[in-house]
Structure 1
Amino acid sequence: MAARDTGNDRLLPVQRLRPGDHAFVSYGDDEVRWEVVTAFVRLGLARGEKVLLLPCPGVPADEVLARIDFPSRSTVQARERGQLVVTSMREVIAPDHAFTAARQMGRLHAETDRAVTEGHTGLRAFIDMGWVRALGTDVAAVAARETGAQALFTGRPYTEICAYDRRRFDRSMLTAMERAHPCTLLERLGSLRSTRGRDGSLCLIGEADAAHRPEVGRALEIALTQTAPARRLTVDLTRLHFLSVGCAVTLLTLAGRAAAHELIEVRCDRGQCRTLRRLGAGTVPRLILTEVVRAW
């Protein structure tokens, strides 16, 4: 079976971002904050995109580059050929001195077109929102930009992460900014989250690796128990960056034992579907795999 992802789900691992995505992420630790940005930069370079990196003001460029290069000098050539650019909000809005949403969005729109003209597949930008305080910008202007930036993303090869330090912004502001973005990122690489839908469906988000196999098993067992009266369960794997063989086997084993269910639908991408089929999904009588194609 095949289906098209409606894009209604907001929480994603950074590896699942695609052109047209506008994402919120927050951090409260100086070490943790480098995980998402490093993955975002490296994936963009690997996909042939141009990458703009706007770190928190006050963090030296040498430290930024050392962080994203660790443990090797992997971005040197990208910087030399102009594919990776470390910049700042002051440079983006120049020659203006005060931030305006129109100026910033106009520049990013032009930079996206320029990236494509230069032969890149698109543009992605990581923007640490520490610039708001550094430029003395009214948070209302920032909020207006975050909620009104659709023209930058719709049908265009542009991807953006806005990173908020929880120590710099109050909780109400963070909540409003998270709601203003179409998607929110997991803060840590390698983490796993599970969520439940109103219909009892189970969604796994992040990385279902070997270390998370017990957690995946527990989540599936609870979901199967709670949906037994309805005799149907949907398991959504499409927001996983990684599905280990062990977790896939756990899913198939529990589905095979779920005699109380008439149908267990597993929504998955092409790679996950291939893995499950090779592990014997076709022999589980009540299991249906629905391959989901995410629209850009």
Structure 2
Amino acid sequence: MAADTCRDLLVQDIGRGDHVCLAYDDDAEQRHVLSHYLADGLRQGERVLYFADRNAPDEVLGWLRAVGIDPGPLVSRGQLAVTTADDSYLASGTFDPDTMVAVLRQEVTASLAAGWTGFRVSGEMGWALRGVPGADRLAEYETKVDAVFAEGRSSAICQYDARLFDAGHLHAFDRCHPSAAELRPLYEDAQLRLVPAFRSGRHALRVVGTVDHRSTAPLAAALETLLDRPGDLYVDMAELEFIDLAGVRALAHAADRMAAGRRLHVVHLAPLMAQVVRLVGFDDIPALSVDTAEDPA
């Protein structure tokens, strides 16, 4: 399944039937999402399988201890298994999408037959960059395996480290997933949420709610945080309800501070709001791009 639009899911909302992409560039963010995802499954009586690559299996078990889960008894009774990519995706020395899909389908069936309430799995995908035979078929695998999770008996988070995968790869793999794991907000109150994300494989900021005189400063601070990231920055306004002139000015100021050759793309902005940006002349800033249509990248 190629997802043209990918819905963002809070980690606590990920459950059976979900096939989720996690793109991240911070180890603490990876640990936060995965520790809660794994712990939630274990508490619900699901069988949980983790394929480690950059992290050692003992580190992953440590994530669970940090959120109050003792992994020892769970491993002993077969509810939890943490192995490596070499012993899972690459067990035969090469990567074969059809074989891996069949293995996961068998794991789901066996888990339910053993009395577990469901099955959840997560894998670190950095192994695909090591020149392993068959790694060029990873997108094919992500598309095919979606059918396993769509049956509603299991779920998955596929992890892509944005420090390893380039924007083109991230965009391609994101499109293979119906959902993306939402990262922790940079700011959140009753009116506004500012959520870092990856759009088209590039750093983005989702603006959800209302930006007015009370929330201009948090918007400016969130933009400042993301200015340090490489490449262009996308500000996704699809869930914006209102933005005042001070908020637009914060966007313009951030664009004006972009390093040479970089741009700030305001995407999915309502046409009326985009017209305001143009009327005040902020679209004359070379590093600022305002688009009311689908993200052109």
Query: Partners of 1:19 and 1:164 in 2: how far apart?
Result: 21
2:255 matched residue in structure 1: none
**Deviation digits for residues 163-200 of structure 1, max 9, x if unmatched?**
100111111110111121000111237975479xxxxx
Relative to structure 1, the CA distance from residue 204 to residue 86 in structure 2 (aligned partners, 3 Å threshold; closer, same or farther) is same
Do the aligned partners of 1:20 and 1:158 also contact (CA within 8 Å) in 2?
A: yes
1:77 matched residue in structure 2: 73
Q: Does 1:88 align with 2:84?
A: yes
2:34 matched residue in structure 1: 37
TM-score w.r.t. the length of structure 1 is 0.60
SS at match of 1:96: coil
2:241 matched residue in structure 1: 223
Relative to structure 1, the CA distance from residue 108 to residue 172 in structure 2 (aligned partners, 3 Å threshold; closer, same or farther) is same
TM-score w.r.t. the length of structure 2 is 0.59
1:92 positional shift: 2.4
Query: Partners of 1:95 and 1:138 in 2: how far apart?
Result: 12
Which letter does structure 1 place at the counterpart of 2:129?
R
Relative to structure 1, the CA distance from residue 173 to residue 44 in structure 2 (aligned partners, 3 Å threshold; closer, same or farther) is same
Which letter does structure 1 place at the counterpart of 2:241?
A
**Deviation digits for residues 116-164 of structure 1, max 9, x if unmatched?**
0111011100111122134625553001111222321222411010010
Relative to structure 1, the CA distance from residue 116 to residue 178 in structure 2 (aligned partners, 3 Å threshold; closer, same or farther) is same
Q: For the aligned residues, what is the CA RMSD? A: 3.2
Do the aligned partners of 2:120 and 2:156 also contact (CA within 8 Å) in 1?
A: yes
Query: Partners of 2:156 and 2:14 in 1: how far apart?
Result: 9
1:283 matched residue in structure 2: none
1:72 positional shift: 4.2
Match for 2:44 among 40, 44, 47? 47
Match for 1:163 among 151, 159, 163? 159
Query: Partners of 1:72 and 1:225 in 2: how far apart?
Result: 41
For structure 1, which runs of at least 5 residues remain unmatched after alignment?
Answer: 1-7, 196-202, 206-213, 227-296
Q: Does 1:121 align with 2:143?
A: no
Query: Partners of 1:95 and 1:129 in 2: how far apart?
Result: 14
Larger relative contact order (CA 8 Å, sep ≥ 6)? 1
Match for 2:179 among 179, 183, 189? 183
Which letter does structure 1 place at the counterpart of 2:37?
F
SS at match of 2:27: coil
Q: How does 1:1-296 map to 2 (within 5 A)?
A: 10-57=7-54, 59-70=55-66, 72=68, 74-93=70-89, 96-134=92-130, 136-188=132-184, 192=188, 193=193, 223=241
The count of corresponding residues between Structure 1 and Structure 2 is: 202
Runs of 4+, deviation exceeding 6 Å: none
